[in-house]
Amino acid sequence: MKTTKTIMILLAITITLIAAGCTKQTSDNAISQEQPEAELKEIVKLRDNKFLPTTTVVKVGTTVTWINEDQIPHVVKSTDGVFESTSLQQADTWSYKFENTGIYNYASADHPEISARIKVE
């Protein structure tokens, strides 16, 4: 009789262990391993009364940062009015994120002969 009782206990433990192994565990406590998308960045410099480079090609979602390395202040302004910076003194920066495809021509507002363009693909 002890043997039957021992077998029944072992059988109950085995069934419990099997049932526990078959249950689906939720991922409520899982840590997200998603990586943020790499931020797209591009730099345009104002130097020697020029934008460098004069043509910049970027992808949608790219943030372009202008850096004034000139001795004089500049306002970066698109010819179609899409964007306009504040007055950038020497060493100042200003950024704009391009959300739509197209060609964006721009110039220094006070010096329209200083011009360039951004092509967003």
> Using CA of residue 22, residue 28, residue 33, residue 35, what is the dihedral sign?
positive
What is the SS3 assignment for 113?
A: strand
- Whether residue 9 contacts residue 16, with contact meaning beta carbons closer than 8 Å, is answered with no
Domains in the chain and their CATH numbers?
Answer: 41-120 (2.60.40.420)
Q: Are strands 41-47 and 63-68 parallel, antiparallel or unpaired?
A: parallel
Q: What is the mean pLDDT of each run of 10 residues along the chain (121 residues)?
A: 55 52 46 62 97 98 98 97 97 98 97 97 97
pTM to 2 decimal places: 0.69
What is the SS3 assignment for 14?
A: helix
Tokens standing for residue 22? 């078959």
Cα distance between residue 93 and residue 100, in whole Å: 22
pLDDT at 107: 98
pLDDT at 20: 53
* 50 Cβ contact partners less than 8 Å away, ≥ 6 residues apart: 114
Tokens standing for residue 28? 């409520």
pLDDT at 38: 75
